[in-house]
Structure 1
Amino acid sequence: MKLYHVIGAKQYDRTSLEDLFVRADRMEAVVKSGGNTQFSSKIMTTLFFEPSTRTRLSFESAISRLGGKVIGTENAGQFSSATKGETLEDTIQVVSQYCDVIVMRHTDIGAAERAAAVASVPVINAGDGGGEHPTQALLDVYTIKKELGTLDHIHVVMVGDLKYGRTVHSLSYLLANYKNVHITFTAPSNVQIPPYVTEYLYAKGVSYSEETDLHAAVRAADVIYQTRIQKERFDNEEDYKLAEGKYIITEELLKHMKSTCTILHPLPRAGEIEKEVDQDPRAAYFRQARNGLFIRMALLEKCFEGIPAEKEMAALSR
């Protein structure tokens, strides 16, 4: 059986992204109409070895609005047989017997790919440590298109924790599908964008630069993608303090941005965007979070339809 796994952003090209956007638009209409019972016989399992609010709840809302059911745990590291020494592979093979799709967040980079290798149902990567977060990046590009009307010919400024920021990594890979995209990376010295991301962009012919001055970086930006400095990713408090509070979007900074700029954040935030910025029409991060519901409904639909994804999955090895 051919399964539609969602493992990494590199599996998507422009065609598959456009298909997903069309589906997400349709899912927004489904939500407005009160949902449906299209997949009333389907069960989704959530296995979250790391904390989550938006991702887990939006997936649970997504399956509910499609008529399905959800089982699982929000703290699989503590409330699963992993505490007894069970391997991830064994857990996945067992859980596959109880459901029709597995949505998993794990602490280890590459965990989703390991899970997909042994699963008998589709696996959706809801974040693997400091690696990737493809469903977040999918809703990010969907939001950019809705806000700006295009994903071509745009300048995106990514700010904050770019080293451990899995959403940044996945978003960079997706943006490589579009024409004349320039990415500016603005980060503290100890959390700069990893070389494997910039090497991918270079290989794809994507223009990028690094800028330490946030005021200078945002002037030409069409999108500002702010991220949290992730305290939980650091080995010690000293390294965290080197990065904390260096780049903050303030009311004063808004004056330096284009009137058409869109401000995004994968959330949660921890002081890197002032609350006063929320009132600015360019602040799209709560609209962005809502778009996650529509994208995740669209992804579940593709999983349940069993659409062959050989082309997409083959891209992961490139």
Structure 2
Amino acid sequence: MSLQNKSIISIRDLKKEEIELILDKAEEMENKLKKKEPLYSLKNKILASLFFEPSTKTRLSFSAAMQKLGGSVIEIEYSTTVKNLVDKIKMIENYCDVILLRHPREGSARLAAEISKKPVINAGDGSNQHPTQTLIDLFTIRKLKGKIENLNVSLVGDLKYNAVMKSLFYALGIFKANITLASPPELQMSWENIEEVRDKFGVKIFQTNNIASAIEEADVLYVCGIKKENFLDVFEAEKIQKNFRITLDLLENAKEDLIILHPLPKEIEIDSKIDETKFSKYYEQANFGLPVRMAILSLVCE
């Protein structure tokens, strides 16, 4: 099995075995980083980092990953969307071995992959997909819990517009986790997505607008923020944000070995007092970004 020259656009494009290959490679990368072994497998390879909207964490993480592997990075940022994405991709492909693309328009990464002679890695295309973050999430869960299958995983927050949640939801279906979806009615996961995952993978999916019930039986609590711009009424948005905030009180009935994850950076959705508790694993999760993205680049470019 090989991912050489394969574009990573959506978690849907990856078979379970391919995901496991990436996770195993990430484990290998993590061990090499700990031992401070020299890594030059991508020497003379170039990553073109093409961002049409800001995302400091993803951009820096991939840049560090490429340089750790001995490669180099061309960074290109645009403050606004450029009309002719096709021309940009056709030009940039001449100067690199792989393209990292972040674009606010859904489907932009797929379009880029279809026209590019070089593999494209989707660093987020609007509210559609964010596959590399999902691979980090899966690695974190497997690393900290020893498995993904049959775990009770609760997704809390914006399940309608958040690309990370959509990607992770599908991936949890692939690995047969039991999934609870907790969100305000206005931000529920689409019924089409729920039906697709339930019918395709036969997993148990529960829906609730009660955070306490989502926490009670959870092995993993994955939280994302709720953005005010998705509401017409700012005051209503603030009210919902407060109602979907994870606090210490809510964790009183949580499992002893519950882990809380978040793609970061977080705002008010998790009480800062939780940062120092045994439940908080989101900073550890962020640290796993480097070996996972090294694994992706290594498998795609070698």
TM-score, structure 1 length as denominator?
Answer: 0.89
Match of 1:8 in 2: 10
Deviation sequence 1:42-73 (CA, Å, 0-9, x none) = 11111111221221111011001001111122
Contact 2:184 2:240 survives alignment (8 Å): yes
Match of 1:52 in 2: 55
Contact 2:155 2:179 survives alignment (8 Å): yes
Shift in Å, 1:259:
0.7
Moved more, 162-171 or 46-55: 46-55
Q: What amino acid does structure 2 have at the position aligned with 1:304? A: C
Contact 2:41 2:298 survives alignment (8 Å): no
Shift in Å, 1:244:
2.5
Match of 1:312 in 2: none
Write the distance in 1 (CA, Å) between the matches of 2:12 and 2:108: 16
Write the distance in 2 (CA, Å) between the matches of 1:260 and 1:227: 20
Moved more, 230-239 or 194-203: 230-239
* 1:183 to 2:179 alignment: yes
Match of 1:26 in 2: 28
Write the distance in 1 (CA, Å) between the matches of 2:43 and 2:230: 39
Write the distance in 1 (CA, Å) between the matches of 2:230 and 2:95: 33
CA RMSD of aligned residues (A): 1.7
Write the distance in 2 (CA, Å) between the matches of 1:230 and 1:97: 38
Match of 2:73 in 1: 70
Write the distance in 2 (CA, Å) between the matches of 1:236 and 1:99: 45
Write the distance in 2 (CA, Å) between the matches of 1:63 and 1:234: 38
* 1:275 to 2:272 alignment: yes
Contact 2:46 2:71 survives alignment (8 Å): yes
Write the distance in 2 (CA, Å) between the matches of 1:70 and 1:231: 35
Contact 1:201 1:207 survives alignment (8 Å): no
Q: What amino acid does structure 2 have at the position aligned with 1:49? A: F
Match of 1:123 in 2: 120
The runs of 5 or more residues in structure 1 that have no matched partner are 306-318
Match of 2:188 in 1: 192
Write the distance in 2 (CA, Å) between the matches of 1:224 and 1:172: 13
Aligned positions of 1:1-318 closer than 5 A: 3-32=5-34, 33=36, 35-73=38-76, 75-78=77-80, 82=82, 85=83, 87-179=84-176, 181-204=177-200, 205-233=202-230, 237=234, 240-241=237-238, 243-305=240-302
- CA 1:66–1:167: 2 relative to 1, 3 Å: same
Moved over 3 A (4+): 231-243
Write the distance in 1 (CA, Å) between the matches of 2:273 and 2:238: 24
Contact 1:34 1:65 survives alignment (8 Å): no
Write the distance in 2 (CA, Å) between the matches of 1:269 and 1:187: 17
Write the distance in 2 (CA, Å) between the matches of 1:88 and 1:229: 29
- CA 1:117–1:235: 2 relative to 1, 3 Å: farther
- CA 1:215–1:31: 2 relative to 1, 3 Å: same
Contact 2:137 2:285 survives alignment (8 Å): yes
- CA 1:94–1:237: 2 relative to 1, 3 Å: farther
Contact 2:93 2:99 survives alignment (8 Å): yes
Write the distance in 1 (CA, Å) between the matches of 2:268 and 2:234: 17
TM-score, structure 2 length as denominator?
Answer: 0.93
- CA 1:114–1:77: 2 relative to 1, 3 Å: farther
